[in-house]
């Protein structure tokens, strides 16, 4: 069993429409079976309202299943005794770093989580040092978070989660509010955490390019998993992805258009020529 596993997960909520006087039960998650391998990097894609955030919140125990089960490190998230261990095992990073950063100084902010759970001062500083190093923010440790760029703030937020020593981090559109440079630096940081620290990553994103280097891509639509595979398998399904309201990475779109036009594949395009060569036969 993987580090995160869901079995027949269903989440229902009541939709209340005052104007239309409607009160109905709706399913945000509809029978999701997912098994995430320890140490892997999985990207979760899907258009707005497909259920990605609702799924993420289940993995962190912020939401509990209406039906079915979610295990994190073999703990059932429904089991009250384990809820804090679940949250320590699977840390969550949200879209807006401003909502996660509470300290006035970077290093204080990163130490806040461990301090809150009664870790010794010596151990807190050790974790702060390690976490800031892991996200490449050591040079900014004495600064006020207000003075940082969006990408830097998000890296501090990630360091705050890392200081809790999670085995898995779930990032819910962590780059949505960032400019292209900020996006790149945050994605680089996430990859580094996965590769060097062995942290399991679940990245929810709208940006296809961010999913290219994942080990696995899971596509959601209407609360269900509709595609699941390695990036090149998923991106080869250009028509299917488009039908689910998703764009494909530029490089795939280009390869697809060339193929449709019966044109040969030029070398060196967008620095992704290797991926294109692999993708083209699959299209």
DSSP assigned state of 170 = E
Distance, in Å, from the CA atom of 202 to the CA atom of 4, rounded to the nearest integer, reads 10
CB of 7 to ligand ATP, least distance (A): 19
Nearer to ligand ATP, 24 or 35 (CB): 24
| Interface region with ligand ATP, contact rule CB under 6 A, candidates 42-50, 134-142, 208-216, 250-258 | 42-50
CB of 55 to ligand ATP, least distance (A): 7
Distance, in Å, from the CA atom of 20 to the CA atom of 191, rounded to the nearest integer, reads 47
Nearer to ligand ATP, 57 or 141 (CB): 57
| Interface region with ligand ATP, contact rule CB under 6 A, candidates 31-39, 45-53, 71-79, 154-162 | 45-53
- Residue 281's Cβ-side half-sphere holds a number of Cα atoms within 13 Å equal to 3
DSSP assigned state of 171 = E
Residues 47-86 binding ligand ATP (CB under 6 A) are 48-54
User: What phi and psi values does residue 214 have, to the nearest 5 degrees?
Assistant: -70, 160
CB of 133 to ligand ATP, least distance (A): 31
CB of 20 to ligand ATP, least distance (A): 15
Nearer to ligand ATP, 53 or 252 (CB): 53
Note whether 89 binds ligand ATP by CB under 6 A. Answer: no
Distance, in Å, from the CA atom of 27 to the CA atom of 12, rounded to the nearest integer, reads 4
Q: Is 177 within 8 Å of 96 (Cβ atoms)? A: yes
Of 190, 188, 191, 178, nearest to 151 by C-alpha is: 178
| Strand-strand pairing, 67-72 and 216-221 | unpaired
DSSP assigned state of 100 = T
Alpha-carbon separation of residue 10 from 33, 37, 80 (angstroms):
10, 21, 19
CB of 149 to ligand ATP, least distance (A): 23
CB of 96 to ligand ATP, least distance (A): 12
Note whether 28 binds ligand ATP by CB under 6 A. Answer: yes
Of 280, 165, 203, nearest to 45 by C-alpha is: 203
Note whether 46 binds ligand ATP by CB under 6 A. Answer: yes
DSSP assigned state of 4 = E
Residues 144-163 binding ligand ATP (CB under 6 A) are none
Nearer to ligand ATP, 48 or 99 (CB): 48
CB of 142 to ligand ATP, least distance (A): 35
Nearer to ligand ATP, 52 or 82 (CB): 52
Neighbours of 216 (CB within 10 A): 19
Nearer to ligand ATP, 193 or 246 (CB): 246
Nearer to ligand ATP, 214 or 279 (CB): 214
Q: Which residues have CB under 8 Å from 130's CB, separation 6+?
A: 162, 163
Task: Give residues in contact with ligand ATP (CB under 6 A).
Answer: 13, 28, 46, 48-54
């Amino acid at each position: 069993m993987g580090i995160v596993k869901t079995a027949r997960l269903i989440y229902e909520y009541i939709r209340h429409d005052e104007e239309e006087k409607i009160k109905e039960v709706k399913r945000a998650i509809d029978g999701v079976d997912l098994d995430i391998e320890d140490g892997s990097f999985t990207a979760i894609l899907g258009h707005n309202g497909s259920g990605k955030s609702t799924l993420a919140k289940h993995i962190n125990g912020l939401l509990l299943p209406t039906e079915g089960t979610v295990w994190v490190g073999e703990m059932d998230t429904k089991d009250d005794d384990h809820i804090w261990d679940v949250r320590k095992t699977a840390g969550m990073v949200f879209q807006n770093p401003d909502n996660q950063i509470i300290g006035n100084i970077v290093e204080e902010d990163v130490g806040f989580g461990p301090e809150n759970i009664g870790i010794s001062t010596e151990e807190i500083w050790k974790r702060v040092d390690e976490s800031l190093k892991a996200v490449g923010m050591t040079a900014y440790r004495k600064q006020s978070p207000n003075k940082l760029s969006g990408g830097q703030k998000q890296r501090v937020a990630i360091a705050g989660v890392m200081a809790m020593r999670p085995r898995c981090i779930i990032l819910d559109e962590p780059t949505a509010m960032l400019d292209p440079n900020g996006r790149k630096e945050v994605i680089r940081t996430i990859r580094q955490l996965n590769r060097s620290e062995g942290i399991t990553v679940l990245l929810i994103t709208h940006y296809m390019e961010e999913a290219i280097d994942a080990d696995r891509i899971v596509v959601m639509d209407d609360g269900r998993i509709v595609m699941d595979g390695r990036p090149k398998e998923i991106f080869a399904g250009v028509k299917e992805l488009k039908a689910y309201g998703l764009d494909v990475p530029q490089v795939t779109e280009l390869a697809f258009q060339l193929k449709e036009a019966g044109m040969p594949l030029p070398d060196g395009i967008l620095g992704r020529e290797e991926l294109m060569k692999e993708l083209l036969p699959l299209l």
